[in-house]
Amino acid sequence: MPRYALKIEYHGAPFSGWQRQEGLPSVQGAIEAALARIEPGQHRIAAAGRTDAGVHALAQVAHCDMAKEWDPFRLSEALNYHLKPQPVAIVAAAPVAEGWHARFSATERRYLFRLLVRRAPATHQDGLVWQVRKPLDLDAMRQGAAHLIGFHDFTTFRSTICQAKSPEKTLDEITISETPGLGGAEIHFHLRARSFLHNQVRSIVGTLERVGAGSWAPGDVATALAARDRAACGPVCPPQGLYLAGVGYPDDPFAD
């Protein structure tokens, strides 16, 4: 059966998350239903990462198996037609080898977290950012983030219901930058790793926000990490500012 990689963008607010759940709206379920409209039958797709309820994606990647050969452009167009009016878009489709897997073939995941700093309520960014009212110290947050780079036991920064076999992960990058915007300054957190634990990004960003606000010292992040105790973590930030921004593969199926 021909296999295709799909690059997917979605607004996570209407969904219970990526993963198909009985009786609840999901991104996976929406795409599988669209696939059934263009090729009747049961479809099961696999993704690079399972985003939680309210989390968005700029470039999620999944793969699907089809009964016939499709022109990639026509496949994406047909799926987008049947996905309307849901906030899900197939940005690109590409043929891949039979053994290629959106999750297991991936070598890195990249996440973006958007934090809006302003007192007035968010309007255009509502549902797309986490808003805080008081200014944050970027240098302090960067100092705190530096303690998390590299290979560590991230027990402190993962959900108690995380199903990963080990809490040990290598965090390759945390970049924190300020981006001026029409509605107020945004602080962007870019995180990159081969894989992430459940709630790891939101736990890290929530903790670093406490550093930026002055409630934690940068060194407190190292202390929390060394504790290997979920109770030592700062608050977990809300999901609406989080985006799966990209997935890396040894041979990018979407490369021109």
Q: Which residues are tagged catalytic? A: 52
Phi and psi at residue 141, to the nearest 5° = -65, -40
Q: Are strands 108-117 and 185-193 parallel, antiparallel or unpaired?
A: antiparallel
Query: CA–CA separation, 33 vs 25, rounded Å?
Result: 11
Contacts of 6 (CB under 8 A, 6+ apart): 31, 45, 61, 62, 63, 64, 76, 79, 90, 92, 93
Q: How far apart are CA 248 and CA 93, in angstroms?
A: 15
The answer to whether the CB of 93 falls within 8 A of the CB of 6 is yes
